[in-house]
Amino acid sequence: MDLTNSPSPYSAAGPAGNDRGASGAAGSSPDSQARRYASGRQFELRRGDALAVVTELAAGLRRYSRAGTELTESYGDAEIPPGATGITLAPWANRVEDGVWYLNGTKQQLDITEVSRNNASHGLLRNSSYALVDESEFSLTLEAAVFPQHGYPFLLRHRVRYELAEDQGLVVRQMLINDSQEPAPFVLGAHPYLRLGDVPSEELTVTVSARRRLVTDERLIPRRTEPVGGDFDLRTGRLVADLDLDCAFTELEFDGGVARHTLRAADGRSVSLWQDHACGYVHVFVTTNFPGRTKAVAIEPMTGPANAFNSGDGLRWLAPGERFTMAWGISASLDSPVSHPGAAGESWGYDAS
């Protein structure tokens, strides 16, 4: 369902009621015509007690909740995703050092989008509009083109499918299609921040199923890998309050075809991000700079790490006409003897009724 011209569910003034209707015709009221979102059209999926809201901007996940419990961080109508929350990443994830890489010996210069560290960051579609190309009762698919440009002379399509599964879990499939006449290098990724209702994230325990970490320089460019240890060994769980992380991990531990990373509350409730074998890396970012939160936790599935265009680590090449797909998703276990309602009092409080 497209919410773009419906009364705002994210208004800073509070919930706008229960009208979740699709946009009206050209003769719609001035009020509905005036509704605009900084993140573009808003698409809603519902199934059972699950609710997901996806944005036109960057095919981003703006909200995912179960039974009124918020499971991802969000933001207001007039805001773009803070800290890249929820956006999808193509044709690279994370950073390219100095925005420079070499194609068949020829220097390629990407735009510098992380000025403070002089890197090209988070691909070419972060500020792009995605078109709706398919939808069903419980799924929708958005698509955007990567056009040939300086630093990346390839024509690609990035297609993102969101689905609420039968168990109300969220499943995301990202596909890259090469419409060029030459093989194209790429890394795919996503940037969701997880939360668990109204529990402060610093009170949660984070578990990441990875055996090695990437060691970076001061510009967050990987220089080597090493076995996890100390604050970087998250396999048995660490309290978020004790962590200050901006680190990628690899050698993930897969079980049943997926690697799973979890935020868990003291009462036993949890939210997890899973990723398939196509995603051999995960980046964990614990920040104190997310608006309205003491700490926030991003768990980012990626097919390759930062600077893959130069290191070759995790880098894939897509032949002309070929397609590549990665899958990830979010699940939750919300049964506990202690009741914790969702964060309905947030300034962007979406009325999930």
pLDDT at 3: 62
Residue 208: which domain range? 88-333
pLDDT above 70 coverage of the chain, percent: 85
* Average per-residue pLDDT for the chain: 89
What pLDDT is recorded for position 337? 54
Q: Which of 117-121, 153-157, 184-188, 332-336 has the lowest mean pLDDT?
A: 332-336
Mean pLDDT of 90-96: 97
Mean pLDDT value of segment 197-220: 97
Q: Where does the pLDDT of residue 4 fall: very low under 50, low under 70, confident under 90, or very high at 90 and above?
A: low
Residue 41 included in any domain: no
pLDDT for the residue numbered 50: 98
pLDDT 10s digits, 256-306: 999 999 999 999 999 999 999 999 999 999 999 999 999 999 999 999 999
Tell me, yes or no, whether 94 lies in a domain: yes
pLDDT, residue 158, reads 98
13 part of a folded domain: no
Report d(CA 67, CA 308) in Å as an integer: 39
In whole angstroms, what is the distance from residue 64 CA to residue 193 CA? 10
The reported pLDDT for the residue numbered 5 is 54
344 occurs within a structural domain: no
Amino acid of residue 45: L
- pLDDT of 14 > 60? The answer is no
> Is 129 within the bounds of a domain?
yes
Q: Is residue 341 part of a domain?
A: no
Average pLDDT, stretch 64-92? 97
SS (H, E, C) the chain: CECCCCCCCCCCCCCCCCCCCCCCCCCCCHHHHHCCCCCCCEEEEEECCEEEEEECECCCEEEEEECCEECECCCCCCCCCHHHCCCEECCCCCEEECCEEEECCEEEECCCCEHHHCEEECCCCCCCECEEEEECCCEEEEEEEECCECCECCCEEEEEEEEECCCCCEEEEEEEEECCCCCEEECCEECCEECECCECHHHCEEECCEEEEEEECCCCCEEEEEECCHHHCCCCCEEHHHCCCEEEEEEECCECCEEEEEEECCCCCEEEEEEECCCCEEEEEEECCCCCCCCEEEEEEECCCCCHHHHCCCCEEECCCCEEEEEEEEEEECCCCCCCCCCCCCCCCCCCC
pLDDT tens per residue, range 98-144: 999 999 999 999 999 999 999 999 999 999 999 999 999 999 999 99
Average pLDDT over residues 316-332: 98
Q: Could you check whether the bond before residue 91 is cis, i.e. omega within 30 degrees of 0?
A: yes
Domains in the chain: how many in total?
A: 1
Residue 99, Cβ neighbours under 10 Å: how many? 19
| Predicted pLDDT at 11 | 37
Q: Which two tokens stand for residue 53?
A: 């809201």
d(C-alpha 225, C-alpha 216), whole Å: 9
pLDDT of residue 347 exceeding 60? no
Is residue 123 situated within a structural domain? yes
- Lowest mean pLDDT: which of 149-153, 249-253, 266-270, 333-337? 333-337
CATH of the domain at 100: 2.70.98.10
Sign for the CA dihedral angle at 95, 101, 104, 108 comes to positive
Q: How far is CA 149 from CA 13, 84, 111, 124, in A?
A: 42, 23, 10, 10
pLDDT surpasses 80 at 16: no
Average pLDDT score over residue span 189-198 = 98
